[in-house]
Amino acid sequence: MKTTFTVLMVIFLAFSGYHLSFKSFRLPGFALKFYLTGIEFLFIGILLGSSFLNLLDTQTLKSLEPVSGLVLGWIGLIYGFQFEIKKVKRFPFDFFLSTLIESFATLLVVFFGVYFLLSFLDSNINIKIMGVLTIAAASACSAQTGIVLVTSDFNYNKKLITLLKYISSTDGLHALLIFGCVFLIQQPVYDKNWLVHQLYFILYITGVPFALCFLYLLFFSNRIYEKTISIVVIGMVLISSGAALVINFSPLLINFFLGFCIVNVSRKKEHIFNFLISIEKPVYLLLLVFLGAGIKFSNNFIFFIAACYSVYRLTGKIIGGMLITKISKKMSVYPANLGFGLIDSGGLAFAILYDFQQRFPCETTTYIITIALISIVYNDFLSLFFLKRLLSKDAGTIK
Amino acid sequence: MKKADRKIVVNYIFILIMLVLFALWIKYLNVKITWQQAGMINFSLGFLLLAAYLIGGVLNILKLPLITGYILAGIMAGPHVSNFIDTEMVNQLKLIDDFALSFIAFTAGGSLHIKLIAQRYKAILLNIFFITTTVFCLTTGFVIISAKYFVLTKLLSFEQIVAIAILSGVIAVARSPSSAIAIINEVKASGQFTETVLGVTIVMDVLIIIFFTFAMTFVKIIMSQKGISIDIPFLALAVEMFCSIIFGVIIGKGISFYIDKAGYDLPIFLVFLGFVVAKISMFLTIFMKNHFDIFLHLEPLLICMSAGFVVQNFGKSGRLFIKSLESVEMPVYVLFFSLAGASLDFTALAICWPLAVCLAGVRAVGIFIGTWSAGTIIKDPASVNKKAWMGYLTQAGVAIGFAKLVQRQFPDIGLYLTTIVLAIISINQVIGPVMFKIVLNIVGDAGRQKR
């Protein structure tokens, strides 16, 4: 068994390396998308993890926790950088409302659906609620990969494409807000006295991000040369991720907040973003490998549950899409099935899941994360089909 | 100091104070679970990086080298001053040393242009020969003769003194290409003197790895107490060096191929490659010992240096290779030097400073005799001849790396050597760049760079 998977791993590595290294690599649509989203690295993680080769065993993953923190912080910061108020304001308010509706419709359907589905799980109720809330948050996230891939070959309704791109790049905001609630459910105990504990909790959760933000802005208020920007950015991500972990909070959320502040305040945002994005790909691939390594296939039933989760998510997206077209006259011009274009899960969903896996490690967490990841793979294969269905109905013309 | 510079200094000091206050708050929190411990490692690394950046920046404005600031930040944060980064954490962060050393070796090999050496080969070779000989002999001789007069070394056995003397002698020969290049760029220097100094510095940084490998073998023989058997260890050394170079050439060709065919994410690719080379070398040593009872240690520094040399001189991608290394060198250097500062035994430093000052002086004398002899033979102007030594004092990177390697392989003497070496480097890194700047102005090379 192990030999088979070793061979598989080598093939995967070779293919992935090939994909990463050669631009002229051509594949059929679904497979190209598979590679573009980097899902193959999730499989490498699964093969390297305790389910198969056990090279990345629990102990090794534990020793890599500092790297995990850094990876999550990096992704959080990049995501925060997408929310430049000046740029977001360029879009109509209806778009913002659409994202909100789309996200929350998916969140609600997935939350109740999955909670009911997992009623058989015998575990701590808090962990179960937190886990379901996390995958509900992750389900709200969508990605642009499929949209970009399809629309690069065809000329489609530009308005619809703009709306889809807007929703898929901003829906993560709501997902992160919901994910933040997970940390309110199970707080670390700072003090035996309830009131003192709450005061500490508020002080840490609000004080640390603001103190970090203040430090960041102080740094960037000075002259920083191109060559040294890497030191400041790496140093700050290390500090903010480290501080988040020390206070038992999420490095993803804290860095998202910092990214949001910097992009709206600092004049050096372009330089910082260019540096952040320059190593985004390896950071993202590492995240996928780590996530994959933590997966455990306890039984075959898990594949069925993951399929149900995918159906709930799809239902949520469809309902959300339908509701969007009802909010105003302007929005009624969009097709009612626009939810079909938002099936792709995207990198932020992985980051949310990984953050949860790291922060609350237990059997239930592993089970829930495994479901979510299998479902992401299902979605990855399905999304292109649904997207083409949406776009072909919307009268696209081949270039 | 200019008004603008004064403002920057004040700002940097203010940020540093804020950073320290924040760090104290985080340090005060109760860290229990591994997740939090991992956070503390991240936080400490980030703190070290930023504190080193700020202190380096302040010292740079005061016309002192950046590297001194990095080392100083490490000392301040380290176990012997504030204990913000304790000994256990310093050990945990040794991982950084591995790839930083490989990285430095890539840069050293990549900076070695055959064309440059060919232009001034006579001056370069003579300087290398004389500087190496005089500095090594004087330093080694001085340590052996004077060891009983210094507190740090007087209790050591004769074998240990000889080992420290040989290794100090070799390390004293090492220079700092990165500092030299930085100063040449800073004063926009160009000319025969500049080219010779650059050529000597870079070639020496490559040769020093070979000298060091020889010295380590010698020390192994001395410290093993099994008597001296010349043939086998030297044959083994020759095999090790040959294999390391061959391995390096293969890797160099591989890097060239990667750059030509793909070239994406090159800086990250190189950092990971350096790390992989260090780890594989370590693994191979253990594997050969356990399975075949053969001691075969492929030197990662020599492998990476050979790889860098091959990429620079036997392919089309040398410029891109160096550019990629330069794009990530700052964080690597800052972390490496500040961690070197943190691992400095401050108590021992207080004891060994007289020895360090004497050795720095002896090294300077050795360099003076070497450069004067070489200059006399090639008939350089007397005015340049007398002052040429001032261009060769800077010392960093590889020297610290060597001391750390010794510490790993010979814990008995490694601590003494690291302490002495870091003390000497601190002195040379403060004086060296300033002297180099002065001599470039004296010989008239400063400001002659066209671009």
B250-302 pLDDT per residue, tens:
999 999 988 887 776 777 778 778 878 887 887 787 887 787 777 677 778 78
| Burial bucket for residue A393 (CB in 10 Å: 0-12, 13-18, 19+) | exposed
- Whole-number pLDDT of residue B226: 56
Residue of A62, A231, A241 with shortest CB distance to B34: A62
- Whole-number pLDDT of residue A2: 45
Residues B77-102, buried b or exposed e (16+ Cβ, 10 A)?
bbbbeeebbeeebbebbeebbbbbbb
- Residues A77/A283, Cβ–Cβ less than 8 Å: no
**What is the DSSP code (8-state) at residue A340?**
G
- Residues A343/A321, Cβ–Cβ less than 8 Å: no
Mutate to test the interface with B, among A62, A70, A216, A231 (most CBs of B within 10 A): A231
Judged by CB atoms closer than 8 Å, whether chains meet at B42 and A242 is answered as yes
Highest mean pLDDT range out of A155-164, A332-341, B85-94, B117-126?
Answer: A332-341
Judged by CB atoms closer than 8 Å, whether chains meet at B50 and A232 is answered as yes
Query: Which has the higher per-residue pLDDT, B434 or A138?
Result: A138
Query: Which has the higher per-residue pLDDT, B364 or B227?
Result: B364
The Cα B408–Cα B421 span in angstroms is: 15
- Whole-number pLDDT of residue A396: 47
**For chain B, what are the domain ranges?**
3-92, 95-442
The Cα A214–Cα A390 span in angstroms is: 46
Mutate to test the interface with A, among B8, B20, B34, B42 (most CBs of A within 10 A): B42
Judged by CB atoms closer than 8 Å, whether chains meet at A231 and B42 is answered as no
Asked if the C-beta of A274 comes within 8 angstroms of chain B's C-beta atoms, the answer is: no
The Cα B222–Cα B224 span in angstroms is: 6
Highest mean pLDDT range out of A378-382, B87-91, B337-341, B368-372?
Answer: B368-372
Mean pLDDT by 10-residue block, N- to C-terminus, for chain A (399 residues)?
46 51 52 65 82 74 80 93 88 91 93 88 83 92 77 71 88 91 78 81 87 89 78 91 89 94 88 85 83 84 91 94 88 87 86 91 89 89 83 53
Judged by CB atoms closer than 8 Å, whether chains meet at B39 and A243 is answered as yes
Query: Which has the higher per-residue pLDDT, A17 or B357?
Result: B357
- Residues B201/B175, Cβ–Cβ less than 8 Å: yes
**Which has the minimum average pLDDT: B11-25, B82-96, B335-349?**
B335-349
The Cα B395–Cα B201 span in angstroms is: 10
Residue of B31, B261, B330 with shortest CB distance to A228: B330
Residue of A227, A237, A244 with shortest CB distance to B39: A244
Q: Which tokens sit at B217?
A: 């073998």
- Residues B310/B253, Cβ–Cβ less than 8 Å: yes
Residue B362 has pLDDT above 90, yes or no: yes
- Residues A270/A20, Cβ–Cβ less than 8 Å: no
**Which has the minimum average pLDDT: A362-366, B348-352, B438-442?**
B348-352
B80, HSE (Cβ side, Cα atoms, 13 Å)? 17
In DSSP terms, which residues pair with A398 in a beta bridge?
A154
Counting residues of chain B whose pLDDT is more than 70, the rounded percentage is: 91
The Cα B11–Cα B6 span in angstroms is: 9
- What is the mean predicted confidence (pLDDT) over B164-181? 82
Residues 6+ apart with CB under 8 A from B186: B437
Judged by CB atoms closer than 8 Å, whether chains meet at B50 and A246 is answered as no
Query: Which has the higher per-residue pLDDT, B140 or B445?
Result: B140
Q: Smallest Cα–Cα separation from B323: which of B106, B67, B70? A: B106
The Cα B82–Cα B77 span in angstroms is: 5
- Cβ contacts of A281 on chain B, cutoff 8 Å: 265
Helix (H, G, I), strand (E, B) or coil at A316: helix
Residues A92-105, buried b or exposed e (16+ Cβ, 10 A)?
eebbbebbbbbbbb
Q: Which residue of A has its CA nearest to B323?
A: A227
CB count in 10 Å sphere of residue A374: 20
The Cα A285–Cα A78 span in angstroms is: 15
CB count in 10 Å sphere of residue B122: 12
Residue of A65, A66, A215 with shortest CB distance to B22: A215
Q: B44-76 pLDDT, tens per residue?
A: 889 999 999 999 888 888 877 677 788 788 888
- Whole-number pLDDT of residue A26: 57
Residues A320-333, buried b or exposed e (16+ Cβ, 10 A)?
bbbbbbeeeeebee
Q: Smallest Cα–Cα separation from B52: which of B25, B84, B95, B26? A: B84
Per-position DSSP letters for B347-399, written without gaps between them = HHHHHHHHHHHHHHHHHHHHHHHHHHHHHHHTT--HHHHHHGGGGG----HHH
- What is the mean predicted confidence (pLDDT) over B179-183? 72
Beta strand spans in B295-351 (E): none
- Cβ contacts of B26 on chain A, cutoff 8 Å: 242-243, 246
Calculated CA dihedral for residues B339, B345, B349, B352, nearest 10 degrees = -120
Query: Which has the higher per-residue pLDDT, B90 or A342?
Result: A342
The Cα B102–Cα B408 span in angstroms is: 16
Mutual angle of helices B318-342 and B266-292, in 10-degree steps = 70
- Cβ contacts of A62 on chain B, cutoff 8 Å: 34
Q: Which residue of A has its CA nearest to B4?
A: A223
Mutate to test the interface with B, among A58, A60, A65, A358 (most CBs of B within 10 A): A65
The residue whose two tokens read 């002297």 is B435
- What is the mean predicted confidence (pLDDT) over B232-255? 82
Residue of B18, B42, B45 with shortest CB distance to A245: B42
The residue whose two tokens read 């760079």 is B449
Asked if the C-beta of A276 comes within 8 angstroms of chain B's C-beta atoms, the answer is: no
Counting residues of chain B whose pLDDT is more than 90, the rounded percentage is: 14
In DSSP terms, which residues pair with A397 in a beta bridge?
A155
Judged by CB atoms closer than 8 Å, whether chains meet at B261 and A22 is answered as yes
The Cα B403–Cα B413 span in angstroms is: 10
The residue whose two tokens read 């010794």 is B406
The Cα B445–Cα A313 span in angstroms is: 70
Architecture of domain B95-442: Up-down Bundle (1.20)
Phi, psi of B410 (to 5 degrees): -125, 80
- Residues B362/B139, Cβ–Cβ less than 8 Å: yes
The Cα B40–Cα A54 span in angstroms is: 27
End-to-end CA distance of chain A: 47
The residue whose two tokens read 């003194």 is B161
Q: Smallest Cα–Cα separation from B342: which of B282, B404, B393? A: B404
Judged by CB atoms closer than 8 Å, whether chains meet at B34 and A65 is answered as yes
Query: Domains (ranges, CATH) in chain A?
Result: 2-398 (1.20.1530)
CA A57 from chain centre, in angstroms, equals: 24
Sign of CA dihedral B140, B144, B147, B149: negative
Query: What distance in Å separates residue A311's CA from the closest CA in chain B?
Result: 34
Query: Which has the higher per-residue pLDDT, B177 or A252?
Result: A252
- Whole-number pLDDT of residue A155: 64
Residue of B34, B46, B262 with shortest CB distance to A236: B46
Mutual angle of helices A229-246 and B3-28, in 10-degree steps = 20
Q: Which residue of B has its CA nearest to A277?
A: B265
- Residues B102/B308, Cβ–Cβ less than 8 Å: no
- Residues A306/A341, Cβ–Cβ less than 8 Å: no
The Cα A112–Cα A109 span in angstroms is: 6
Calculated CA dihedral for residues B206, B210, B211, B212, nearest 10 degrees = 100
- Whole-number pLDDT of residue A103: 93
